[in-house]
Amino acid sequence: MTSHTLTPLLRKLESRALLNDDDRAAILALPYRRQLVEREAYFVREGERPERSCLLLSGFAFRQKLTSEGTRQIISLHIAGDFVDLQGVMLNLSDHNVQALTRCELAIVARSDIRELACAHPTVAMAMWTDTLIDASIFREWVLNVGRRDALTRVAHLLCEIARRMEAAGLADRLRYEMPMSQEQLADATGLTPVHVNRMLRDLDRSGLIVRTNRTITIKDWAGLSDVADFNENYLHLDQLATEAARMQEMSVCAAAPS
């Protein structure tokens, strides 16, 4: 049972709230369908009425919006274990696109099944709510990044975020990972042009903070890089569970009552 397909989902939700055995069983009992999708495939399209949500079992994905002129802004990244498009469970119209960055394995779950789970298991609902709140926190940091930081800082910040999230997901070392994005995609994520992203990467390389070999990023000086990146990892809320456990004891609210 430990190798159940939905184990990554269970892990994710357990990192968001304190679940009991009943909650765990209900999560693993979710009906799902496995699917493999190619690079560039759309999971969700703007304007659609979502009927299902996608759990990323492997690979990378990103959220994206287009202006009327056709320029693209990447809004966020998603890595294996992320429940992409959880907001489609409650919102009735999709306001952006979600696309595969690499080839992805998915577990597809019906929206109605997630709603039933949430209704029957309040703690699971709160774990999913928390997950979407962390997404929102990342969006806020990206508004700041794109709105008020210069080009070098923006690029460095994105490198730090990817490093830290991949480390937290157990996918790579913080100091060495393979960049899943092309420079054009980095540009769309930072609100820059591919040409200028290239120059900023070169500058980071020349100043000795990183080394690039093909798509592998090696961070030579984490403190130095996160300094030029103005990177403070609080917004990723990676320690949510630890602080949650501590605070539940203080408050003894919703304390794991068997449902």
Taking CB under 8 A as the binding criterion, the range among 4-12, 167-175, 212-220, 251-259 that sits at the site for a copy of itself is 251-259
Mention every residue, 6+ apart, whose C-beta is less than 8 A from residue 114. Answer: 30, 53, 86, 89, 128
Q: Which two tokens stand for residue 216?
A: 């592998």
Name the residue nearer to DNA (CB basis): 94 or 99: 99
Name the residue among 81, 79, 219, 65 with its Cα closest to residue 157: 219
Q: Which token pair is 92?
A: 């009735």
- The one of a copy of itself, DNA, none whose footprint includes residue 151, by CB under 5 to 8 A per kind, is DNA
Q: Which stretch binds a copy of itself (CB under 8 A): 4-12, 34-42, 45-53, 207-215?
A: 45-53
Helix axes 111-120, 21-28, angle to 10 degrees: 170
7-15, 28-36, 215-223, 228-236 -> range binding a copy of itself (CB under 8 A): 228-236
Which of a copy of itself, DNA, none sits in contact with 43, Cβ below 5 to 8 A by type? none
Task: Please provide residue 142's backbone torsions phi and psi, each rounded to the nearest 5 degrees.
Answer: -70, -35
Task: Assess 122 for contact with DNA (CB under 7 A).
Answer: no
Binding status of residue 150 toward DNA by CB under 7 A: yes
State which of positions 106-125 bind a copy of itself (CB under 8 A): 112, 115-116, 118-120, 122-123, 125
Among residues 121, 131, 39, the alpha carbon closest in space to that of 85 is found at 131
